[in-house]
Structure 1
Amino acid sequence: MLTHKAIWAALDGLAEKYGLTASGLARKAGLDPTTFNRSKRISRDGKQRWPSTESISKVIDATGASVAEFMDLLSENGGGSRIGHRIPLIGLAQAGSAGYFDDGGFPVGEGWEKIPFPDLGDPNAYALEISGDSMLPVYRDGDIVIVSPAQNNPSRGDRIIAKTMQGEVMCKILTRKTLTRIELSSFNPAHPDRSFDTQDLAWMHRVVWASQ
């Protein structure tokens, strides 16, 4: 299972491997130097703070490490087997078609490609391959995001995959959520933000990882 402890241990291991402190690693990646400080890993109210997929991606790019290298560090720190779990890969452009998800937003069917990924503790986790430019500059055409249907109550600022009752599937940022309304912002300012009545969305799941 991918745990809070394993993620932070892998980041610490990556910093050590490249001769950096946690602050040095953040600085090298163009982040605030305090981003990876141990004091930032647990909030004042005791909640776990997870590094964002964007931060991890920047670290990997800045150090010249590979995603596989980071996965190895995760595995070494109890973050699950790098190859031992496979999840279905669905193209975002095809995801809105009938037959890919059940009413709860769980992937269904067989015959699609499956990719290796550490066990998230969610048997319904799946991957979506990004297509087009609507998610630039955060996600590029061909990038893969990992989605966990178990995390179906995202918070403001989370990157999410949502499906409308009409079947449209989109990757957005949750900017506001009330009992009656959901507001989503686009990654690319050239594409419009979206707003829905809650009953107009079939489901909404959090993006938990990006393989870029």
Structure 2
Amino acid sequence: MDVSAVQAALADKSYSAVAPLCDDLLLQGAARGVSTDDWPYAVHLLAHLYLNDLNSARFLWKSLPQQVKDARPELSAVWRIGQCLWNRDYAGVYTAAQGFEWGPELADFVTAFLESYRKRIFQLLTSAYSTITVADVAHFMGMSEEDATNYAVGNDWSLDAATKMLTVRKPKAQTNQKLDASKLQRLTECVFHLEN
């Protein structure tokens, strides 16, 4: 099966395009009865995790024959990350991702996944907390306390060094543009014209 489009997306670091591309190619191959022995299942699975599409990742994993799972250690390593995500084992995600020697095809992708995941977790922490301990941030972010503090302070949180508490700075709410009366009038006339 020709996976050059998947390899090109990986080379371009277009990681968000990989899962839909893999899904389409795999379905096309199955419709033609093409062998999937050389299919990049680990890339495909990681692509769904990158998009935070856990249901599709689980479905892909469950659809794989056991001999494929057993024969590909990288695939099993990606699945360990997926299991941690599914179980909301935040620290486990980092442990699983950093605890495997990734091949050249996946190393950059795993790094990009971790960066994306870390940003999502930081956004969740920002929306869920007004204050949080440095230790908790380090746990959720898969970092040392020093690195977690630097990351948080670098994102405009403030640190009380005595209590080791971080105060979350909420992002400013975006204000919507106001529609002036003349634009509203033109829109109303346009809709009226189209309906009549």
Normalised by the size of structure 1, how large is the TM-score?
0.26
* Greater relative CO, 1 or 2 (CA 8 Å, sep 6+): 1
Larger radius of gyration: 2
Normalised by the size of structure 2, how large is the TM-score?
0.27
Q: Which has the higher strand share?
A: 1
